Amino acid sequence: MKLRIDRFTIIILAVVAALIVAAVFTISRSGGMEAQESYRTEDAPETPVYNAFLALKSGDLATARAQYSQQVLEEASGDKGYGPLRGESYGYGDTARR
């Protein structure tokens, strides 16, 4: 019994092979490493938000606080609960029960 492949199947196999080659080329070119994130310097409304998020993600509290206005910092310090701008983090403390 002879295996017969029509033109549509050949085209599908060629597209899949091209996608695999493109993926291998892209990963080998970038080394599989993520690009290093850096602070933005452009004058755009989303720049302070991005910089504050990046600073909080890396644990740099001073840089994160510098991105906010004094009014926002005062409101954040007055709120109760989780306060990442105050250097606090969520923890169970003595509330864990068995």
Question: What's the pLDDT at 29?
Answer: 80
pLDDT tens-place string over residues 6-55? 999 999 999 999 999 999 998 888 665 666 788 888 888 888 888 888 88
Give the domain ranges of the chain: 42-81
Two tokens, residue 70: 């004094």
Instruction: Please tell me which residue, 4 or 9, carries the higher pLDDT value.
Output: 9
d(CA 66, CA 55): 10
Question: What's the pLDDT at 84?
Answer: 65
- Name the 3-class secondary structure at 17: helix
Two tokens, residue 22: 């493109």
- Inter-residue long-range contacts of 84-91, CB under 8 Å, 24+ positions, other chains counted: 84/56, 85/61, 87/61
